[in-house]
Every structure is written in structure tokens, then in C-alpha cells.
Amino acid sequence: MSSSPSPRFVSRLTRNTLVLILAGGRGSRLMDLTTWRAKPAVPFGGKFRIIDFTLSNCINSGIRRIGVLTQYKAHSLIRHLRLGWGSLRGDFGEFVEILPAQQRTEGSWYRGTADAVYQSLDIVRMHDPDYVLILAGDHVYKMDYGPMLARHVETGADVTVGCLEVPVEEASAFGVMAVDGDNRVVRFQEKPADPPSIPGQSDRALASMGIYVFSQAFLFKQLIADARKESDHDFGKDIIPSLIDQARVIAFPFRDAATGGQAYWRDVGTIDAFWKTNLELVGVNPQLNLYDKEWPIWTHQEQLPPAKFVFDDDDRRGMAVDSMVSGGCIISGAYLRRSLLFSSVVVEDGSRVEDAVILPEAHIEPGCRIRKAVIDKHCRLAAGTVIGEDPEEDARRFHLSPGGVVLVTPDMLGQEIHNVYT
């Protein structure tokens, strides 16, 4: 088996691969951030949506045949895909197709991840790929899928599962696997109460990333069989565990190509994780480099003016320290510290914002104090609003996370926003 497949070999594999991105989940652990939008459509990183990372990985990997399976409150996601990902050339066989739940084969909505793909098998058959790469649309990471496809072919795998090492105490949120010396999966448990550790590393477990490579024929056979029996119709709960003893299931460890160590990957599925992962970006040398020209993150680029900082008086100075501020923002005599502002945010005179993530088009009126908070899109905070100083008051008015992050949405403020769906 070649440890370094040739670029031509990988290019052939990526051209003959169809990607299906599972993007229909609500993401209920993000609380009110997903009241009006699916988790993959949640803004992230100042100007992106979460799904942009998975889509950018596909494009940067040379895979340009992509289907996005949607279901829960998909309007903002579909609108984003249409605006930001509609430029691929159909005459070159490139596309990002939106595949909403249509009850094509069953009189029900998607019952699980495997059922979501099963209900689109006629579309997969129409595109006739050699390989089907199944991805989740709600994680933040940068990954070249080419080497994983190459490993799948070189090992003669029936299915290849992307995996990473996680702390044992966090492993119950994942599918956890055990492998032999050739990385063949010998055991797979979905979200076990007592996760097994990696031999020799009692504090680490090997977790599934929810990334799978199948050959087309093998995938069809497994999904059709699963649809005919009682199950949860889920890849992690049903499909993968059922294959361990009867098929060749290979684990593909997600490693940093430069260091060989664990690569960057985040599940921003809770308010605490969402807040922390966004604020990691304002560090001097963040693990996730958004300025990497060799692996750009693509998105819908709004036409906005540059960010503006105004007033330079002793008692009124517009400034930001250890922060990221996106286009269209106006910082008018206000002070930002360790914060990330998305597009078109306005912060007015005398306001102080620290350790906060402010989503697009929020407006903070004069004299506010905001600390350790996530402020949702379109929120307008009245003059003198204080958030993040009194936990009891914050919990009464807003949502206070287990880690002490305050989430504020327009609904909590009693504000009716005509375009909240975007």
C-alpha cells in the first residue's frame, strides 16, 4: 500500500466521487440560535456559516459534485447555498445541489442519517459516482478528503470511517471504535455510556467524525437492506456496527499533514463550544487559520464597506483590542476587547464589549456593558443594557449556559424581526 498516493491517482478518485452533506439537523444544543435556522446555517467566524467549512473542504479537495440534504427550517441555509455556492460550472459537471426532504421513497421525513441518504438513492444513481463521500455539515475543520479516498481504495475497504482522538470524558457524544494494527475497525459503539480508551492511552478514545466513504454498489446494498428492517436508520447506530463482522471497515485517522499530530476539528454544538471556538480565532496564532491562502474558506461575500472606528477623545474613543471586526461594522466611541464582530454590527458611544461574539446586524446602543455573551443576528440592545455581570438577572431575561455564557436573541428582547430567517 502506497503511503503517498500520486496526485493523478487522487485526482481521478475525487472526480469520480459524489459528496452528500447531511445538513438537516436542528442542533438543539445550540438552544435559541437554532430556533429559526438549521445548525449548518448558524453564522461562524465573522463572515461564514458553519457549512462553509465542509463545502470549502470539498472544493479545495477537488470534489465538485455535491448534494446537500436539508430538512429542519432550511430557508436560511438554502438561501445561503444559492447566493454563495451557485457559481460552479454545470457544463463542467460541477454542482452544489440542494436535496430537501421530499418523501421520495417513504411517506415520512428523514428518520435518520442513513434514511436521508436512502431517500436520495435515485439521485445518486443518476449521477453514477464510483464513490460516495458522506459528510456532516455542522463541524468546523479543514481536511483534504483526497488521501482518505485513496486509503479507501488502496486498502480494499468496503467502508472507510474518518476518526479522531478525543478525551475519554467527551467520547460519549460520539461513535467510539476500536481498531487492530491495520486500522481495521473491530468494534464500534454509538455514544457509549462508558467509552473504551485507546490501548496505552487511558485518557483518549477513538471517535468517529461522521465521515464515511462507500463504493456506490456497496452503499446501495446496505441502505436498501436497512430500509427493510426495524432500526433507527442511522449510520452510527445501525449501518456501521452491523458491518464490523461481515465487511472490511477501515478507520482513517485525521492527522495534521505537517506535524502528524491530531488535526484541528471542532463540534460547535453547544453555546459554550460555539462561544469558545469563535473567540479562539482572535488569538495571535489560532489553530484554525482563516488567513491560509492555500486552503481558503469560501462563502457568500456581501458587498460591504470597510469597518470604521470613529472618535478619539479621552472619554469617547472607538477602538478594538485583541478582536476581529468584519466589514460594515461601525465602532463609534466604544471599546472592544477579546471579541468577534460579524458583518454590519454597530456599537455606539460609551459601550464596552468584552469576550463577546456579536452576530451580523446587531446594534448596541450607547452606554451598554456586554461581557461573555453571544448576541444573535438583528438584536438591538437598548441604551444602558448590562449583560454578563449578574448571573441571576441574565438567567431570568436570557439563556445562561452551563459555562456562564449569555445568549441573547431578538425573541428574548421581544423584538419582531422581519428577516430573522436569514
Name residues whose C-beta falls within 8 Å of residue 325's C-beta, 6 or more positions apart in sequence: 307, 331, 336, 341, 345
Rounded to a whole number, what is the distance in angstroms from the first to the last CA of the chain? 48
Asked if 326 contacts 348 with a C-beta cutoff of 8 angstroms, the reply is: no
Per-residue burial over 222-245, b = 16 or more CB atoms within 10 Å of its CB, e = otherwise: bbeebbeeebbbbbbbbbbbbbbe
Closest by alpha carbon to 420, among 360, 330, 348? Answer: 360
Residue with grid cell 437492506, as numbered in its chain: 225
User: What HEC string does 226-277 produce?
Assistant: HHCCCCCCCHHHHHHHHHCCCCCEEEEECECCCCCCECCEECCCCHHHHHHH
Cell of 313: 477623545
For residue 416, what pLDDT is reported? 75
Spatial separation of the C-alpha atoms in residues 159 and 48, rounded to whole Å? 31
Q: Could you tell me the pTM of the whole model? A: 0.94
Spatial separation of the C-alpha atoms in residues 332 and 319, rounded to whole Å? 8
Q: How far is CA 404 from CA 281, 321, 358, 377, in A?
A: 20, 22, 16, 20
Asked if 7 contacts 54 with a C-beta cutoff of 8 angstroms, the reply is: no
For residue 72, what pLDDT is reported? 83
Asked if 289 contacts 309 with a C-beta cutoff of 8 angstroms, the reply is: no
For residue 2, what pLDDT is reported? 45
Name residues whose C-beta falls within 8 Å of residue 377's C-beta, 6 or more positions apart in sequence: 43, 342, 359, 360, 361, 362, 410, 420, 422
Residues of the chain with confidence (pLDDT) below 50: 1-2, 420-421
Closest by alpha carbon to 117, among 230, 191, 222? Answer: 222
Closest by alpha carbon to 207, among 220, 225, 224, 192? Answer: 192
Quick check: helix, strand or coil at residue 186?
strand
Closest by alpha carbon to 177, among 145, 129, 155, 210? Answer: 210
User: Within the chain, which residue ranges are assigned CATH 3.90.550.10?
Assistant: 7-280
The yes or no reply on domain 7-280 and CATH 3.40.50.720 is no
For residue 1, what pLDDT is reported? 44
Closest by alpha carbon to 166, among 209, 121, 223? Answer: 209
Quick check: helix, strand or coil at residue 178?
strand
Q: What share of the chain is helix, strand, coil (3-state, %, to 5)?
A: 25, 30, 45
Name residues whose C-beta falls within 8 Å of residue 50's C-beta, 6 or more positions apart in sequence: 39, 40, 41, 42, 44, 137, 138, 139, 140, 268
For residue 106, what pLDDT is reported? 59
CA angle centred on 72, ends 374 and 240, rounded to 5°: 100
For the domain 308-408, what is the CATH code? 2.160.10.10
Residue with grid cell 500520486, as numbered in its chain: 6
Quick check: helix, strand or coil at residue 172?
helix
List 206's β-bridge partners, or say none: 165, 177
Spatial separation of the C-alpha atoms in residues 408 and 370, rounded to whole Å? 11
List 99's β-bridge partners, or say none: 69
Cα 70 to its chain centre, rounded Å, is 14
Cell of 285: 496564532
